[in-house]
Amino acid sequence: KVVKVSLVGIGMRSHAGIAAQMFEVLHQENINIQMISTSEIKISVVIAEKYLELAVRSLHSAFELDKE
């Protein structure tokens, strides 16, 4: 089973390196990316379902989405 994890935001157009940072975070957690899809405001990756929680938590932390 696989799942899709996406980063979405209008700010991606003006911030270079978001995709590279996302891929590096997943690499550091040994999460294999099976497929990648991008648009101007979204980056999506397909990964094994068993890594969903780890991927989301790691990306959330890396992009400081837990800050208020």
Contact 5, 47 (CB under 8 A): yes
pLDDT tops 90 at residue 68 = no
Could you give the angle at which helices 52-62 and 18-28 cross, rounded to 10 degrees?
130
Q: Where are the domains of the chain?
A: 2-62
- At 64 the pLDDT is 86
- Annotation: CATH topology of 2-62: VC0802-like (3.30.2130)
- At 67 the pLDDT is 75
49 vs 40, which has greater pLDDT? 49
- At 13 the pLDDT is 79
Could you report the per-residue pLDDT of 7-41, keeping only the tens digit for each? 998 888 788 899 999 999 999 999 999 999 999 89
Contact 10, 41 (CB under 8 A): yes
Instruction: Indicate the pTM of the whole model.
Output: 0.89
